[in-house]
A and B are shown apart, each in its own frame.
Chain A
């Protein structure tokens, strides 16, 4: 290849470019370009063949014109011709033109591919490099189709030059990213892994990038890369900075490669092999040690490179989450960064700490930095950093510091950036609820929250306060008093009025004894806010007034006057008008007894997932909070006791927002309807069917399924040619909820579809079932859902029966299945130590308190399955409690409305495959 001399630069091109630069106006430029294009066209058209140099020059000019923003529709052929030249510069310009200008559907693509193939086969490293660059730059599907098979061969061939290997690895990476399905996995993968051992660090860097991407998709194939990566990493980390001359960047040895290797390792769990593991730990320790060393250079690049490696190492440590020592050290290191001058470092430190806080080993260590973080919240100038600080506070919060953190967040809220206020409000609400030791504190916090940032308090937050206040008898009086006081402020937020209206309407009587908050004063206070509120709030206040009529008969006339006023009775808003009219009539006609029944205190809300949490998750998008929360929940159960909100898995269940209607008038017919349809339904059945019994005999096979549901909550309960019944249920203490899905398997409509849950007389007293009616028609192929709310009043033996009647075509169908609601569903696991267990076991010696059952196992026993069964049964599986390791031991509490019954359980498998199940329970 002849040397490229300086005189070889294209003079014509330089003149052209300077002409364009000197153009006085856009028009002049266009004229010049038109002239040049005509010239090039006549040259390309000309009969005598152009030499390589002029071809290159003209193609270059075309490229320049294209980059100026003009369309180029010729010259492609000439560019392709350049590809077959033997001169480097000509080939280079040809490839450049093609990567920029040739689109994939061009008919020239065949010619181009051919030229690329020739170059790949040429064994000339520069040509191969050019070809690989072109493939990667175009990176289209067609390129992938043509070359995806070829490039791995080049990559792993023994005689390929280092620079070509590097290009090949990156080219393959690009093709894999655009069309992963076209890159074949084969035996080359194992050889690619060995590139990590290559002499040439450039090759290693390129290969690491490739392997990381591949390993994310196929972790199994590249498992061997872990040990190689670790050894490579340790060689880099332990080397003196002079060892890797070209790859040392401001005294940091190969920072990019280190970062990439650490990323690769993050695709895998901690290595199993203790030697490798030890070596990796050593590496990570060295990296952490190096961070402590004084900087070798004052240049910012030095510290940037060092910190990049450090942060990647910390994220690996967090990813492995197995070495408490390292985690704590990482945490301390990050703690130092929290006060660093660099904003970026502070940001990164807070972000990493957020993940560290969710690790059980470092949670405590993170907590030690609480003061610094709170300080950051107060003094930090950069809003994104403050946001991270809030996140971190949220992540590090637990029972011990909740009060402090919530107080700080509330403080910050007053000055917080508008964009993040709503999120902070949600976080405060969640933390306050989750870690509330004392519900008066909770009520105070939320009222404070509404006062400070009322506009950002979403519906869910105040719904939640009301749910909690209603479900907890002990705070009701306090809540009423605080709300009353808060409402006395001259200006209060509408959300506060809502909460106030609701709570006073329910529990106003609790503070009515105090002359300062006598009924009339309460009413006047609320009514003074009435006219400033929006329609929904006014509607709520009207309901409060009618509740007052019940609570305080002495102010009935005052309230009636208000309801009777024109502004209510003739209100333009239909809802307000209707409420006013109906409440007025109700208060005048109904006797006090009826009023007392209709306007009774709201029943406790069923426990459900905190809707606030769901909202935060929605806001943050899946993945961020959810993961963190779930991880946290798993391991923080011991720290937080049982005040945990309901399981996160329930998020699939749509949480109906609690009706703001105090009376629940709308809901009343629904809830009461449970017994009613069973009678009216059967009447109807009598009309339609000849069969004497309204309730069909149990459907065959349903018993089998029933047994399966003893240990699980979701699945298919029943199935025949027409109908499939699926179940999804959840239980918590003495309450439960079951979703029954009726799927129409046919293509015709089911008419008069009436499912009914029937309890025997015995059962009715011990189990409260509330069903919502379903649509009487079920379209072909459609599925309907029915919700059954369950409350266990006392212990029971039988299971309720689900009777389903419908018309399919002309015939009447009637079938019954047992609903798998068994006592063990209300079983809550309890952990206890071996000593505790046996102490209690011995206490329960009364024969009435003990049942023993010996039976033959139908199936061979598998320890894992048995364990799963016991957990599914509802009790906690206590391991290493029983001295005999073969025995299984469980413990739990059965919650009913009236009592709580502790239960202990032992399963003793016998070698002859006999089982002895002993269950003890104590009735408190």
Chain B
């Protein structure tokens, strides 16, 4: 039960303030500003307790969103709501920035009235919201009457996320598998921790109320099928053993029928119209690491440091990685840097205390190297440099977790189009999350 919701700019000025319950006083707004935004030490916990009042905040660029309550609420619920709120706002007016919020404040208050009622979260499905909270002017009276009843029946109905009577000339759907791979590697090349968190995003332009079924190379499903057809057992295990992946945990969009997933582990749903996130998942086993970083740091006396870093791409030569960026931290007493690299561009960025090496694209099974000479200024204190890890950013056109979409079937019994008539697109994008190698 959220008592109130505030949005602040980076200076702590209140942009939006909406109080839902009487137990939240006016001074709560200031309490958060004083104790969190202007706090002497950076507040790292997303939940802050001030005078028996809990503040849950998320930050989007320079904007603070804070939900406040005096009760013992489910913190996960509050954060889920805040993220949803961000999504809704982005869907309505794009990037969340101070200017956008100021320009759309009437809309935001309207949204807040709709998605939170006396502090209880309501329907926050963007598609549904967009049907009745619009940024256009008021339409004529009699037209809305009809629409209104339709909207009401949809929003209060069983399938609140999709309205009836959608028609497309071309039935088309897009599937994006977006993954981010996180890694921490020791200087010797030992993997200390690695995991992939991924999302399956779907964009659907389908007529009617289609029933979809989604299949991927989930280990459990494949083993189950293997058992089902006994004569094929040996073959399928051989064939799909390395193909299947172990998913540690996953969450689904509300349209997925969870009961069916629990009993048959099949993902079936009626999709909302337009873009939505079908599922989220996490894997930790058998991750394909797209890049290997080999650092070499040598201290030459007290005033000089030699750094050599080699990166190796570790995927099919036919694929191309993009937007590669290697960030090599430099000591705090760096006074000058000389860099030589074979490929791409490298530069010492003093404001970030790092050498940043950028490569536009790089094919698989290649390697590239950079070497730098760092001059140091002798300092008074004998503190040793902490040697922060070298971090990396990239984008590759495959899923590092190994996930494959096996099928996506569409059934629409009422309208006369079949699974074959639907045009389907699948795309894999692997990005770097926190991809670090110690040096």
Contacts and interface: CB of A to CB of B under 8 A. Distances in A.
Q: Determine the interface band of chain A, counting residues with CB < 8 A from chain B.
A: 10 to 19
Contact of A34 (B336, B352, B375): B352
Given A24-B62, A26-B42, A45-B377, A39 B10 contact: no
B141 interface: no
20 contacts: A32-B351, A34-B351, A34-B352, A34-B353, A37-B332, A37-B350, A38-B334, A39-B350, A41-B334, A42-B335, A44-B335, A45-B335, A45-B375, A45-B377, A73-B333, A73-B383, A74-B333, A74-B378, A76-B380, A106-B380
B334 A73 contact: no
Given A42-B335, A45-B335, A106-B380, 4 more contacts: A38-B350, A38-B351, A41-B335, A74-B333
A770 B231 CA distance: 109
Contacts of A39: 350
Given A24-B10, A44-B377, A31 B335 contact: no
B318 interface: no
A73 B351 contact: no
Interface string B341-370: 000000000111100000000000000000
A26 B42 CA distance: 9
Contacts of B350: 34-35, 37-39
Contact of A73 (B42, B336, B381): B381
A73 B10 contact: no
A25 interface: yes
B380 A31 contact: no
Contacts of B377: 41, 44-45, 74
B188 interface: no
B379 interface: yes
Contacts of A37: 332, 350
Which among B42, B353, B380 has the greatest number of chain A C-beta atoms within 10 A? Answer: B380
Nearest to A43: B335
- Cβ-closest 10 pairs across A and B: A38-B350, A45-B335, A31-B351, A41-B335, A35-B351, A73-B379, A35-B350, A41-B377, A34-B351, A42-B335
A116 to B, nearest CB: 19
Nearest to A103: B380
Contact of A25 (B62, B351, B379): B62
Contacts of A41: 333-335, 377
Interface in A64-86: 73-74, 76
Interface string A96-122: 000000000010100000000000000
A74 B42 contact: no
Contacts of B332: 37, 73
Interface string B83-104: 0000000000000000000000
Contacts of A35: 350-351
Contacts of B62: 24-25
A899 B42 CA distance: 83
Interface in A1-58: 24-26, 31-32, 34-35, 37-39, 41-42, 44-45
Which among B62, B335, B353, B378 has the greatest number of chain A C-beta atoms within 10 A? Answer: B335
A31 B350 CA distance: 8
Interface in B29-67: 42, 62
Given A24-B62, A41-B377, A74-B377, A31 B334 contact: no
A39 B336 CA distance: 9
Nearest to A73: B379
Nearest to B9: A24
Nearest to B62: A25
A639 B379 CA distance: 75
Interface in B319-339: 332-336
Contacts of B383: 73
Contacts of A106: 380
Interface in B358-411: 375, 377-381, 383
A45 B376 CA distance: 8
Contacts of A26: 42
A403 B139 CA distance: 90
Contacts of A32: 351
A427 B379 CA distance: 63
Which among A24, A34, A39, A41 has the greatest number of chain B C-beta atoms within 10 A? Answer: A41
B102 to A, nearest CB: 16
B287 to A, nearest CB: 31
Contacts of B379: 73-74
A144 to B, nearest CB: 23
Interface in B1-43: 10, 42
Contacts of A73: 332-333, 379-381, 383
Contacts of A76: 380
Nearest to A25: B10
Which among B332, B377, B378 has the greatest number of chain A C-beta atoms within 10 A? Answer: B377
B381 to A, nearest CB: 5
Which among A26, A44, A45 has the greatest number of chain B C-beta atoms within 10 A? Answer: A45
B353 A45 contact: no
Contacts of B380: 73-74, 76, 106, 108
A108 B380 CA distance: 9
B42 A31 contact: no
A101 to B, nearest CB: 10
A488 B333 CA distance: 84
Nearest to B303: A45
A355 B377 CA distance: 64
Which among B334, B351, B353, B383 has the greatest number of chain A C-beta atoms within 10 A? Answer: B351
A779 B333 CA distance: 65
Contact of B352 (A31, A42, A45, A108): A31
B336 A45 contact: yes
A69 to B, nearest CB: 9
Contacts of B336: 42, 45
Interface in A159-190: none
A44 B334 CA distance: 11
A31 B10 CA distance: 16
Nearest to B354: A34
A127 to B, nearest CB: 26
Contacts of B334: 38, 41
